Amino acid sequence: MKAKRTEARKTTLRKRTVPVKDITERKNAELERTQIESLFKLVFDNSSDLLALIRVDPERGFTLAAINRKYLRLARQFKPEITESDFLGRTREDVLLRVFGIDPVLVDQETRRYRQVHESLETMRYEEVLVFGTQRFHADVVLAPVLDEKGVCRYLLWSSRDMTERQKAQEVLRQNEEYYRLLFENSYDVVVALDKHGSAKFISPSTRRFSGFDPEELHGKNGSEVIHPEDRDKAWASFSECLRTPGIQPPVEIRFRQKDGTYSWVEVTANNLLDNPAIQAVIVNHHDITERNKAEAALAESEESYRKLADNLPGIVYRLDLTKQGHMTFFNEQLEPLTGYVPEELHHGEVCSIDPLILPADRIQVIAEVKQAMRERRSFSVEYRLRHKDGSIRHFIERGTPVVGADGKPMHIDGVIFDLTEKRKAEEERTRIEAEFHQAQKMEVVGLLAGGIAHDFNNILLVVMNYAEIMLRKLPPGHELRTEVNEIRAAAEKAEVLTDQLLGFSRKQKRKPQRLDVNRVVSDVAKMIRSLLGHSVQLEVAIDALEGFLIMDPSQLEQILLNLAVNAKDAMPNGGKLVIETRDVVLDEMRLTPYPDVAPGEYVQIRITDTGAGMDAEILDRIFEPFFTTKVKGTGLGLPVVGGIVKQNRGHIEVESHPGKGTTFRLFFRKADRAKP
């Protein structure tokens, strides 16, 4: 039965012709469209902007057809449970109001924008602030119509880009621009941008305060028009160097003309930024230094005034830097006059100091006193001796004050050093004069006493000698008493010599002044001195041809020479040499400075030098004291008599002696043609 049916079916098949159409291109087009849609969906979902595709529904209005992932992630920040289905198919107004809770006024404003784009078919771009919960976003929104093949707007594409960070950056930029604008406008310095020819392209508003000119008055002008004529070459040389060398140039000081015609000193610093595409200019900063220059000039004048004041002080003004090992950083001009040295000669390595000039015996005390003063934060005063460059020893007193810094530590010492040499000499001279005065008083008293005793004693001796003569005449030759009487007469004669010495010392000895040839007297006395000295002491006499003569008692000169020869002999018990010299000399005021009682003029000098034991300073100071002697049997009148005779004849005597080096007596007698007898 099945077979029959099959056959029957077969028999009923008819041959038909069916038309076939190639749809390959259509399928390819559909595939390509599908791929594009997938690509669009991929781009849509992965966009960094918020994207929403809004369907234009004639009945419901504007409904959400699609949102991208960024949109959904943002929504979930406020409502984590929300899904994409909560958006799709809902009107845009409903989403904004219910999901995001946006102000209805803003929602209505947004709806009007949709209608405007839908009707005008033109893309709209605007900025708005989106508030989601507590967060605010600055958004750059683009609303564009999506047209179908017929040009009908079926959809709107809403795109929002978060501009919050950009807005912040723009706000910072705006604030910075405002900040620098205010800086330019309120800065006292003037900033000018110059082209390569030196013409002003930009001038900051501060030029009004600086010069009185408005920026417009100087715009496009060459700077040389307001530069002092004497400074133009310097300014142009600096600008030319700036053109050759990009970067900041060393500042130069020039004078700029103000609008009122006066000039101000300006420090100009240029920076070549011609190669900077954003600037393409030489930026020049003008800093007014008029007041600074005035202050510096006033300071220099003040420093010069104080420098002159310091230089005119009668002492060495100094500053000693304690942070540099005691380096003296300042001296006034008195350093060289008082020490002979200039500061450069006092450098010892890197340290300049006068310490090495201080005598070693005083230096330790000076250093100790200064250190103690610094520890106690007090001033100090110390005296010391200093060796002058010419080798002489000078006396100084130094007064200084340590100056402490903010940390309480001494930073430097300011001080002054005064020369006490003349004061010390004056004090020594005063002491010497006082001593001489007291000595003269003592000698005067002793002289009066000696003179009185000598006269009385001489009268007694005269009686003794007369009776001795009478007794000798009455006693026959060979009488046993003649020997005793002769001893009495000899003792009386010796006493008479002592009396003459006392009268000579007291200057009451009778003189017989006459015209005196010094060389003849010296030659005659030398004969007696030779026999007096004996063979152990050599006598040498050196006499020069003398001009002029003296008025003096020859016996007094003889007595002087004999007394000095006897002293020399006693000083040379083992032998030696005695030299007597004569010569003409002129004593001027400089030579006689230590001897104010001696008048300057022409003198005959008699010098007696021995090679004996010599004397120390203590003995030397007392040799002219009456009755002072270092001899066992001496009377102590020999040298006082010499001194008395010299002074009686208005002469002068000097003595030089050192232990073991002999003694020299220099006797000076004024010539008769210059002095009255």
Terminal alpha carbon distance of the chain: 207
pLDDT at 677: 42
Give the pTM: 0.40
Q: Which residue has the higher pLDDT, 636 or 670?
A: 670
DSSP 3-state assignment of 238? helix
Measured between alpha carbons, how far is 238 from 222 in angstroms, rounded to an integer? 15
pLDDT at 145: 93
Reported confidence tier of residue 676, pLDDT bands at 50, 70, 90: very low
Measured between alpha carbons, how far is 110 from 156 in angstroms, rounded to an integer? 13
Tell whether the model's pLDDT for residue 540 goes beyond 80: yes
Tell whether the model's pLDDT for residue 610 goes beyond 90: yes
In this predicted model, what pLDDT tens digit does every residue of 377-396 receive, in sequence order? 889 999 999 999 998 999 99
Q: What average pLDDT does this structure show over 312-326?
A: 81
pLDDT at 666: 92
How confident is the prediction for the chain on average, in pLDDT?
Answer: 81
Tell whether the model's pLDDT for residue 7 goes beyond 60: no
In this predicted model, what pLDDT tens digit does every residue of 64-123 receive, in sequence order? 888 888 888 888 877 888 888 888 888 888 887 777 777 888 888 888 999 999 999 999
Structural domains in the chain? 39-168 (3.30.450.20), 187-293 (3.30.450.20), 313-418 (3.30.450.20), 420-499 (1.10.287), 511-670 (3.30.565.10)
In this predicted model, what pLDDT tens digit does every residue of 420-436 receive, in sequence order? 888 888 888 777 766 66
Tell whether the model's pLDDT for residue 311 goes beyond 90: no
* Residue 416 main-chain phi, psi, to 5 deg: -140, 140
Measured between alpha carbons, how far is 538 from 80 in angstroms, rounded to an integer? 140
For residue 59, the Cα-to-chain-centroid distance in whole angstroms is 96
In this predicted model, what pLDDT tens digit does every residue of 243-301 receive, in sequence order? 888 888 888 888 989 889 899 898 888 888 888 888 888 888 888 888 888 888 888 88
Are the C-beta atoms of 612 and 663 separated by less than 8 Å?
yes
Are the C-beta atoms of 186 and 206 separated by less than 8 Å?
yes
pLDDT at 1: 45
Measured between alpha carbons, how far is 250 from 25 in angstroms, rounded to an integer? 78
Task: Please tell me what DSSP assigns to residue 541.
Answer: E
